[in-house]
Amino acid sequence: MKKFILINHKKFDFILLGMLVVLIAVGFVAIFTASTTVISDQIMTANHWWKQIIFAVIAFLAIALLLKLPMPIFDILIVPAFVLNVLALILVLFAPTVAGAHRWFSIANINFQPSESAKLLTILMVARYISKENLSEYKQILYGWGIMIVPVILIMIEPDFGTTLVFWASLMAMFIAAEVPLFFIVLMISPVVSVIASLHWLGIVIWIAVLAFLLLRAGLSWVAITVAGIINTFIALITPVFWMGLKDYQQNRILTFLDPTRDPLGAGYQIIQAKIAIGSGSWAGKGWLLGTQKNMNFLPEHHTDFIFSVIGEEFGFVGSMFLILLFFAFFARLIHCVFQLKVRERKVATAGIMAYLMFQTFINIGMNIGLVPATGIPLPFISYGGSNLLINTISVAVVLKYLNERGFIK
């Protein structure tokens, strides 16, 4: 009996959906207070919060549509959608600049950012091609990078460095879920760690030792370990030489990216303002609508990238902990979902989606509390912004759909 075709009651993950709804609801509250200014007895609120409610309604309609879409059609659509999206990424380079970057298509006042949808579609594409049966690890890695590199390069041209990082993290997660041996992951991350370790000679020594140990434990041959060790030592040693070769302004640009407080009139200023706001929230916060830093509007746009600073200021440590633990539970649930799925492609895709949402969350909150350089990544489900909310919600909907369809095909 086909009574309820939208939801398979036995298999649908209501917990995941419930957490999603709670996160978006927290977003409404945060956006409301972030776009409110209190001057004396005057309370003025910009209309962002109800716009976000409209976006959320659209997002939930999209979930319903997606759940209704037959799985075979969904599977067929991924490749053409990806190709179209890559074309859009190329076209957007010729669109007029907004705030110094080619990121948006603007049609009839609706801004569309193709790099948002590219995240999800790239994950689905990579998942499909690295999950094929009987692939060697080398081919998996080759396909993964091969597919990922196209949108990453196009997005880097825009330029949007933060999004690139998110891509990279979700690729690693997909390799892990696709059962690429862990030492490959270690090898792929190792050059980055080598560059960081090159800050101090002791760092190089310790890192090379740790690397050798990890690879040895993974059971690699001595020849492979030696080659990896030599390559990484070389990278670590060449980094300072390369650094010296850079012009002063180039060095400054990199240093400012790593430590924005070096630039008190630019990014450092925003981060300091966010830190003051969050820090002054203390244990219990200043109370709903009463954030003094927020009311001074020191941070332009604090309803988008810096919304966490408003939460930290008005709800204090207690409030921020509530949100962070909510996020943690949400991601734990997603990890749990990864291993509920038996179809390899879906499992890998879910891992990618989990990692890309988690990295955005980490980078955004880290940026608000001064741990991570300011990169312009919004807080998933909380920050104001239609296309971001839509794509993040649809990503979760894809996972919900996978869970819902368990056992239908196999």
Partner 1 sequence: MNKSSRVFLITSAVLFGILIIALFRLQVIKGNHYQRVAESNFVRIRRLTATRGEIYDQKYRPIVQNIPSHNLFLISGKIQNLPALARFLSLHFEVTIEEITEMVLNQRFRTYEEILVADNVPFEQMLSVSEYLNYFPELVFRIGSTREYLRPNHFTGYVGRIDESEYERYKAEDYSINSYIGKTGLERYYEVLLRGQDGREVVQVDAQGRSLGLFQKGGFIEPLNGLSLVLTIDNEMQDFANRIFPAGVKGTVVVSDVRSGGILAYISKPDYDPNLFMQRITPEIWDELNSEDKPLMDRVIHATYPPGSVFKPVTAGLGLKKGVITQFTRLASCIGGMQVGNRFFRCWDHSGHGTSNVVEALMRSCDVFFYDLSMKLRLDEFYDYVLASHLGSKTGIDLPNEREGFFPDTAWYRKTFGRNVGILGHKVNLSIGQGEVLTTPLQMNAYYAAIANGGTWIQPHLLKQTVGRARLTREQVERVQTKQLPFSQADLRIIHEGLYAVCNSPYGTARSVQVPKAQTFGKTGSAENFMGKKTHAWFCGYIVTDKPEIAVTVFMENAGGGAAMAAPVARQIFDFYMGNIEDIKRPAVLPPQFRSAEDLAAEAAQLSGQDRAPEADMKQENSEEIHPD
Which residues in this chain contact partner 1 in the complex, by CB under 8 A? Answer: 37, 39-42, 44, 46, 173, 176-177, 179, 182, 261-262, 264-265, 268-269, 272-273, 275-283, 292-293, 295-298, 312, 316-317, 320-321, 324, 327-328, 331-332, 335, 338-339, 351, 354, 358, 362, 365-366, 369-371
CB of 215 to partner 1, least distance (A): 16
Q: Are 71 and 408 in contact (CB under 8 A)?
A: yes
Q: What is the DSSP string of 128-170?
A: HHHTSTT--HHHHHHHHHHHHHHHHHHHHHTT-HHHHHHHHHH
CB of 139 to partner 1, least distance (A): 19
- 41: how many CB neighbours lie within 10 A of its CB? 5
CB of 195 to partner 1, least distance (A): 20
Q: Which is nearer to partner 1, 82 or 183 (CB)?
A: 183
Q: Which is nearer to partner 1, 126 or 204 (CB)?
A: 126
CB of 404 to partner 1, least distance (A): 21
CB of 57 to partner 1, least distance (A): 26
Q: Which is nearer to partner 1, 115 or 140 (CB)?
A: 140
CB of 288 to partner 1, least distance (A): 17
* DSSP 8-class letter at 301: T
Q: Which is nearer to partner 1, 307 or 338 (CB)?
A: 338
CB of 92 to partner 1, least distance (A): 23
Q: Which is nearer to partner 1, 82 or 315 (CB)?
A: 315
Q: Which is nearer to partner 1, 121 or 348 (CB)?
A: 348
Q: Which is nearer to partner 1, 39 or 107 (CB)?
A: 39
Residue type at position 192: V
CB of 19 to partner 1, least distance (A): 14
Q: Which is nearer to partner 1, 82 or 308 (CB)?
A: 308
Q: Which two tokens stand for residue 187?
A: 């090898």
Q: Which is nearer to partner 1, 75 or 259 (CB)?
A: 259
Sign of CA dihedral 100, 106, 111, 115: negative
The CA-atom distances, in angstroms, between 348 and each of 41, 69, 178, 301, 345 are 54, 21, 6, 35, 5
SS3 call for 98: strand
Using alpha carbons, select from 126, 119, 180, 148 the residue that is nearest to residue 358.
119
Return d(Cα 383, Cα 372) in angstroms, integer: 18
Q: Which is nearer to partner 1, 328 or 408 (CB)?
A: 328
Q: Which is nearer to partner 1, 74 or 269 (CB)?
A: 269
321 burial (CB, 10 Å; 0-12 / 13-18 / 19+) is: exposed
* DSSP 8-class letter at 41: T
Q: Which two tokens stand for residue 364?
A: 């955004």
SS3 call for 47: coil
Q: Are 22 and 330 in contact (CB under 8 A)?
A: no
Write b or e for each residue in 356-386: b if 16 or more Cβ atoms lie within 10 A of its Cβ, otherwise e.
bbbbbbbbbbbbbbbebbbbbbbbbbbbbbb
CB of 312 to partner 1, least distance (A): 7
CB of 1 to partner 1, least distance (A): 36
- Which long-range contacts link 41-50 to residues 24+ away (Cβ below 8 Å)? 43/289, 46/303, 48/303, 48/384
Which residues sit opposite 306 in a β-bridge? none
Return d(Cα 76, Cα 62) in angstroms, integer: 18
CB of 286 to partner 1, least distance (A): 9
